[in-house]
Amino acid sequence: MKILFLNGPNLNLLGQRQPEIYGTTTLADIEAAVRAQAEGRAEIEFRQTNDEGKLVTWIQDAASTADVAVINAAGYTHTSVALRDAIAASDVPVIEIHLSNIHAREEFRHTSLIAPVCEGQICGFGPNSYVLGLEAALSLKSAE
Ligand code: DQA
């Protein structure tokens, strides 16, 4: 079982970026927590990019590289028709995650263009959203 974690723009800055919203945990810390939780249960691949096109290509390629994808599309969540189309076209189930509760923030963050084509959404639990995303990915596969 292989789970692909994809991270969008500015998530490379976690730890120093708006800590009052996103906390002080770095993306490397989050990756380590996910890997520890997945130990013996799933193989994890963890990637980050600031490029919209790269996220689209990674979703396209996920069909041959992963069983489930977990994505924090960051700012592209609210803007990217291309990312939504890629998820809609993919046979691989995709789970949407966010550190912050996007529904409790500015109005423009309330709309996720990718939500309707994802299996479900986890948001608002800080770094733990990633661990919950892992558990959701595992439960999807065990439910098959
Ligand atoms: C985010 C929420 C997005 O609205 C924002 O653009 C991000 C991070 C989160 O994880 O809370 O970059 O996806």
What would the pLDDT profile of 38-75 be if each residue is shown by its tens digit? Answer: 999 999 999 999 999 999 999 999 988 999 999 999 99
Ligand 1 test: best mutation among 72, 113, 118, most atoms within 8 Å of CB? 72
Residues with CB under 6 A from ligand 1: 10, 72, 74-75, 77, 98-100, 102, 109
pLDDT value of residue 89: 98
pLDDT value of residue 58: 98
CA-CA-CA-CA dihedral for 91, 39, 115, 60, to nearest 10:
-40
CA of 92 to the centre of ligand 1 (A): 23
130 phi, psi to nearest 5 deg: -70, -40
Active site residue 98: yes
Q: Which one is catalytic: 76, 98, 103, 110?
A: 98
pLDDT value of residue 32: 98
CA separation for the pair 16, 2 (Å, rounded): 30
pLDDT value of residue 102: 98
Protein fold of 2-142: Rossmann fold (3.40.50)
CA-CA-CA-CA dihedral for 45, 23, 101, 106, to nearest 10:
-120
CA of 144 to the centre of ligand 1 (A): 30
Name which of 132, 137, 139, 95 is nearest 117 in CA terms: 95
pLDDT value of residue 109: 98
pLDDT value of residue 82: 98
pTM for the predicted model, two decimal places: 0.97
Name the stretches of the chain with pLDDT < 70: 144
pLDDT value of residue 141: 77
Kindly give the number of the ligand 1 atom that is closest to the alpha carbon of 105.
Answer: 4
